[in-house]
């Protein structure tokens, strides 16, 4: 489960607390108890995550440990996307489908996603990658990529040649 204390901001702590509660309750096998305990989650999700923070962090999302959310405003993540361990998210990030028929992204471990980035479609972002601010990623990239631009391109090899 995600460490609430590791979150860098108050609203990040609130967002992860609500998500963690919903994700935990989702696993309760007794349907009646699960529905009763989901009510507080649905209320807090609607009022705080969707209403105040203008974000979507569904309790059914498969998200690894060590997630950090910087400025948790306007973050939209599809409920069936997958996010690895130690991923950093910033404000206005979208992770989801590119069309109604497309698949969903899988984000590897130790990935940093910049403000305003859009990660769309059935793609994979490799471990240790960096997605720059406002990048639009619509194809898969290997580990340790540095993705910038619209459409995103990998500049990691170019930077290695410069240094």
Q: What's the pTM? A: 0.90
Contacts of 92 (CB under 8 A, 6+ apart): 73, 74, 75, 115, 116
Contacts of 120 (CB under 8 A, 6+ apart): 94, 95, 96, 97, 98, 102, 105, 136, 137, 138
- State residue 159's pLDDT score: 57
Range of the domain at 61: 4-162
Per-residue pLDDT at 39 exceeds 90: yes
Question: What kind and span of H or E run contains 27?
Answer: none
3 state SS of 71: coil
- Residue 158: give its domain's CATH number: 2.160.10.10
pLDDT band at 100 (very low <50, low <70, confident <90, very high): confident
3 state SS of 76: strand
Query: How many structural domains is the chain composed of?
Result: 1
- State residue 2's pLDDT score: 63
Mean pLDDT of the chain, nearest integer: 93
């Amino acid at each position: 489960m995600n460490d609430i204390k590791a979150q860098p901001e108050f609203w990040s702590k609130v967002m992860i607390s609500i998500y963690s509660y919903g994700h935990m309750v989702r696993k309760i096998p007794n349907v009646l108890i699960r529905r009763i305990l989901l009510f507080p989650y649905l209320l807090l999700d609607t009022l705080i995550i969707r209403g105040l923070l203008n974000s979507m962090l569904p309790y059914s999302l498969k998200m690894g440990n060590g997630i950090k959310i910087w400025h948790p405003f306007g973050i939209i993540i599809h409920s069936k996307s997958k996010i690895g361990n130690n991923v950093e998210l910033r404000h206005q990030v979208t992770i989801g489908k590119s069309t109604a028929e497309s698949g969903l992204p899988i984000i590897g471990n130790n990935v940093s996603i910049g403000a305003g980035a859009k990660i769309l479609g059935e793609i994979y972002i490799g471990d240790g990658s960096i997605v720059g601010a406002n990048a639009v990623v619509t194809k898969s990239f290997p580990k340790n990529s540095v993705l910038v631009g619209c459409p995103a391109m990998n500049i990691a090899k170019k930077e290695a040649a410069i240094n």
